[in-house]
Amino acid sequence: MTTNIVLEEAKVVPGREEPGETRTRRAFLVAAGAAGLCYTAALGYPIYRYLASPAEMASSATAITEVTLKDAQKLPAGSVLMFKFGTAPAMMIHHQDGSWVALSAVCTHLGCTVQYEPQANRIHCACHGGVYDPRTGANVSGPPPKPLKLFKVAVGDTGVEVSRA
């Protein structure tokens, strides 16, 4: 059966055709290809934008530079408050000595949400055992390659303002 295919291909060898026919065929193929591209773009663009909508909305959320946490100044010493900075989880710790620290709660290893452990005085990631310092965010042990990002904290009378450092 392969021979059949070869025979059919032989029919379209340009040398056997009139030169004008080759030119009109080429023109037709170019026009058809261009039309096909136009259709692909006209159908593909709306579909792409439609599917990308949540990503676009999230990117405007991640552009946020500060978050005000109402009444967070009442957070007791030695406890933690989880909140969202844009779309990503973050944590604010009120240490026993009265100092405030806010940092990203996304483990720099593989993106799990980390946990503050006051008794052990550490931030721990349960996924692969990463450990961070709860004051500086520095990666202390385990697989994390980088420290947790620190935010600036301003404690007011009605709330706490957390902003990008």
Partner 1 sequence: MTTKSLTNSVYGWVDERLGLSELAAFARHKTVPAHAQSFWYYWGGISLFLFIVQCFTGILLLVYYRPGADAYESVRQITFVMHFGWLIRSAHSWSANLMLFAIFVHMFSVFFMKAYRKPREFGWLSGMALLALATVFGFSGYLLPMDELSYFATKVGLQIPAAVPLIGPAIASMLRGGPDVSEFTVQRFFALHVVVLPAVFLPLLGFHLWLVQRHGNAVPPSEETKPANERKSIPFMPGFLRKDLAMWLISLNILALLASVFPWTLGKQADSLTPAPLGIHPEWYFMSPFEMLKILGNWLPGEAGEIAGLLLFTIGIVLWVLIPFYDVKNDGGRRARAAHYFGLVAVILLLATTAIGYWTIR
Smallest separation (angstroms) from partner 1 to the CB of 18: 20
- Contact positions vs partner 1 (CB under 8 A): 1-2, 4-6, 9, 39, 42, 46-47, 49-53, 56
Smallest separation (angstroms) from partner 1 to the CB of 72: 30
Q: Which is nearer to partner 1, 36 or 156 (CB)?
A: 36
Q: Which is nearer to partner 1, 1 or 63 (CB)?
A: 1
Q: Which is nearer to partner 1, 55 or 63 (CB)?
A: 55
Smallest separation (angstroms) from partner 1 to the CB of 50: 5
Provide DSSP, 67-135.
EEEETGGGPPTTEEEEEEETTEEEEEEE-TTS-EEEEE-B-TTT-PBPEEETTTTEEE-TTT--EE-TT
Q: Which is nearer to partner 1, 16 or 50 (CB)?
A: 50
Helix, strand, coil in percent for the chain, rounding step 5: 35, 30, 35
Q: Which is nearer to partner 1, 51 or 63 (CB)?
A: 51
Strand duo 150-155 + 159-164: pairing: antiparallel
Smallest separation (angstroms) from partner 1 to the CB of 53: 4
Smallest separation (angstroms) from partner 1 to the CB of 6: 7
Cα 159 to Cα 72: distance, rounded to the nearest angstrom: 5
- CA distances 117 to 5, 36, 101, 125, 131, Å, are 72, 60, 14, 10, 10
